[in-house]
Amino acid sequence: MPQNTDSVRAGPAQRKAIILLSGGMDSATTGAIAREEGYLLYALTVDYGQRHYRELEAAKRVAEFLGVAEHIILKVDLTAFGKSALTDTIDVPKDRPIAEMPKEIPITYVPARNTVLLSLALAYAEARGAWDIFVGANAVDYSGYPDCRPEFISAFETMANLATKAGVEGTGRFRIHAPLLRLSKAEIIHRGLALGMNYGLTHTCYDPTPDGRACGRCDACQLRKKGFLEAGVPDPIPYAE
């Protein structure tokens, strides 16, 4: 009964959790799961030089929808390092067959992104007295990203408990929760809808049109559309094509 043990450890006050919110479907669903588990949510959105401010706007909408206690948007300009279609000037691939995506590490991979995001979440957690960090990492649809694998999440958790004053003083243990790790996109959608998530608030596209519609052709759009198709429910957002 880990759930009960945790409640006893934390005492009568509501347990706090940090949720990494990108504005996408996965982090929104993860936030809904954390809320369902009874945590008081502290949302962190890292603006690492993404191409579109629309992702940040979506994160704000989702944070409000989840009723978070605090939402910090932190600018960390990873474009200084370059080497990704999401932060550099390389073109985002379009119309690439889905079957080809997971076999390679995508050009949209941002070097050490989840390491950077989780490190910032850890700093935030320690400052707020939270022991739990929720991240929407997913090993199924994004199997090409090394920092979405269970062994990475586990190694980060080990490191986190050696890195911090809180971890060293032994008053608790940091836990990295990645509840979507082994779910398909369709399963994620079903889980989120069951928790009342409104996916119309989220943003997925790597390359939206000037009026804010999703392109429908980048890897992210294709995976999203396939997810809704397989889930058998309509996608509430408009697409350019």
Q: How far is the CB of 150 from a copy of itself (least distance, A)?
A: 10
Reported as type and span, the H/E element at residue 113 is helix 113-128
> Rule CB under 8 A: is residue 202 a binding residue for a copy of itself?
no
Rounded alpha-carbon distances, angstroms, from residue 86 to 53, 163, 164, 168, 235: 13, 29, 31, 36, 24
The secondary element (H helix, E strand) that includes residue 28 is: helix 25-36
If one asks whether residue 112 binds a copy of itself (CB under 8 A), the answer comes out as yes
Q: Which stretch binds a copy of itself (CB under 8 A): 131-139, 146-154, 191-199, 202-210?
A: 146-154
State yes or no: residue 90 binds a copy of itself (CB under 8 A): no
For residue 85, the minimal CB distance to a copy of itself (Å) is 13
Q: Which is nearer to a copy of itself, 49 or 192 (CB)?
A: 49
Stretch that binds a copy of itself, among 61-69, 167-175, 186-194, 218-226 (CB under 8 A): 167-175
Q: Which residues does 159 contact at the CB level (< 8 Å), separation at least 6?
A: none
Start-to-end CA distance of the chain, whole Å, equals 48
Q: Considering the complex, what minimum distance in angstroms separates the CB of residue 65 from a copy of itself?
A: 22
Q: Residue 46 and residue 77: Cα distance in Å, rounded? A: 9
| Residue 14 binds a copy of itself, judged by CB under 8 A | no
Which residue stretch of 9-17, 165-173, 193-201, 204-212 sits at the interface with a copy of itself (rule: CB under 8 A)?
Answer: 165-173
Q: Is 33 in the site for a copy of itself (CB under 8 A)?
A: no
Residue 4 carries which side chain, given as an amino acid letter?
Answer: N
HSE (side-chain half, CA atoms, 13 Å) at 148: 21
Q: Which helix (H) or strand (E) holds 228?
A: helix 219-231
| Contact set with a copy of itself (CB under 8 A) | 72, 74-78, 80-83, 105, 109-116, 118-120, 122-124, 126-128, 146-147, 149, 151-152, 155-156, 158-160, 162-165, 167-169
